[in-house]
Amino acid sequence: FTGIARIPCVVHVVWNTATQNISQAQIDSQIDVLNRDFRATNSDIGIVPAAFTGLIADSRIEFYLATVDPNGNPTGGVTRTQTSTASFGTDDKVKKSSTGGIDPWPTDRYLNIWVCQLGGGLLGYAQFPGGPANTDGVVILHSGFGTNGTAAAPFDLGRTTTHEVGHYLNLFHIWGDDGSGCSGSDECADTPNAAGPNFGVPTFPHVTCSNGPNGDLFYDYMDYTDDRGMVMFTNDQATRMEACLDTVRTNLPT
Ligand code: ARG
Ligand code: ZN
Ligand code: CA
């Protein structure tokens, strides 16, 4: 794409208890986070040490709640569905009305974001580009979504959705998904080769896989740190996301 890619989103709130029926303000706060994080206008970007600031990218991707529904009618870009399912998992049941969730809007034209209760400590999960249409999108735990309402520390800055949308746009974890080895790759040349995921808020530098003196890029959204520790995408990550929007997901931006 040239200029800015603007992606229409639909948020499917699937709730069992009334608390899980999150507010419009919580939804709006998440869209705001996505727009700041993907344009590198997030106010916490200053925690990146000078050694890594040259890698910071503005992906030129923006997000908005859909204004036209699949039937061509005006919409707020939010659906609300009561379910008898107490907790969902990674089996995609939340993505089908016949299994306690709600079907997606056409996945070639909308980024579908399901928000619900998840079990097993799961914060969210995503489908990579090229997968089945009827399950395409991201699923986010309600208490890891947005910055207010039910959002709970240390995952209350909206970064779970930033991370999952990164996967949705073809980004891999920065440690290469090889356990704690040094042979996996995220296919981005500018992210240092790293062993395994980082958690919490690590102290700079964390050297692994002979990546000294600066070590792992644990400030990246595609690591596993707490929300306040992940603040950037790199230039090569932005290039991969742009390539995805120019090919597999070409009908998405408006
Ligand atoms: N898929 C990861 C999980 O469920 C998401 C990690 C997001 N990390 C974060 N700090 N929000 O564990
Ligand atoms: Zn991930
Ligand atoms: Ca690795």
Q: Over the chain (254 residues), what is each successive 10-residue block's mean pLDDT?
A: 97 99 99 99 98 98 98 98 98 98 98 98 98 99 99 99 99 98 98 98 98 98 99 99 98 91
ipTM field: 0.93
Amino acid 253: pLDDT = 85
According to DSSP, the β-strands at 124-126 and 5-15 are unpaired
Q: State the Cα–Cα distance between residues 222 and 232, nearest whole angstrom.
A: 9
Q: Could you tell me the distance, in angstroms and rounded to a whole number, from the CA of residue 125 to the centre of ligand 1?
A: 8
**164 a catalytic residue:** yes
Q: Please state the length of the chain.
A: 254
* Other residues' Cβ atoms within 10 Å of the Cβ of residue 69: 15
> Contact, 232 vs 219, CB < 8 A?
yes
Q: State the Cα–Cα distance between residues 241 and 170, nearest whole angstrom.
A: 6
Q: Could you tell me the distance, in angstroms and rounded to a whole number, from the CA of residue 164 to the centre of ligand 2?
A: 6
> Contact, 191 vs 220, CB < 8 A?
yes
Q: How far is CA 156 from CA 29, 32, 60, 127, 251, in A?
A: 11, 13, 24, 22, 31
> Contact, 198 vs 163, CB < 8 A?
no
Q: State the Cα–Cα distance between residues 112 and 161, nearest whole angstrom.
A: 12
Catalytic pick among 62, 164, 187, 242: 164
Amino acid 43: pLDDT = 98
Amino acid 42: pLDDT = 99
Number of Cα atoms under 13 Å in the Cβ half of residue 76: 10
Residues paired with residue 64 on neighbouring β-strands, in sequence order: 8
Residue whose Cα lies nearest atom 9 of ligand 1: it is 160
Check pocket membership of 167 for ligand 1, CB cut-off 6 A: no
Mutate to test the pocket of ligand 1, among 224, 225, 230, 231 (most ligand atoms within 8 A of CB): 224
> Contact, 96 vs 139, CB < 8 A?
no
> Contact, 142 vs 150, CB < 8 A?
yes
Q: How far is CA 154 from CA 79, 201, 206, in A?
A: 27, 10, 21
Amino acid 254: pLDDT = 86
Check pocket membership of 163 for ligand 1, CB cut-off 6 A: yes
Amino acid 185: pLDDT = 98
Q: 196 burial class (0-12, 13-18, 19+ CB within 10 angstroms)?
A: buried
Amino acid 67: pLDDT = 98
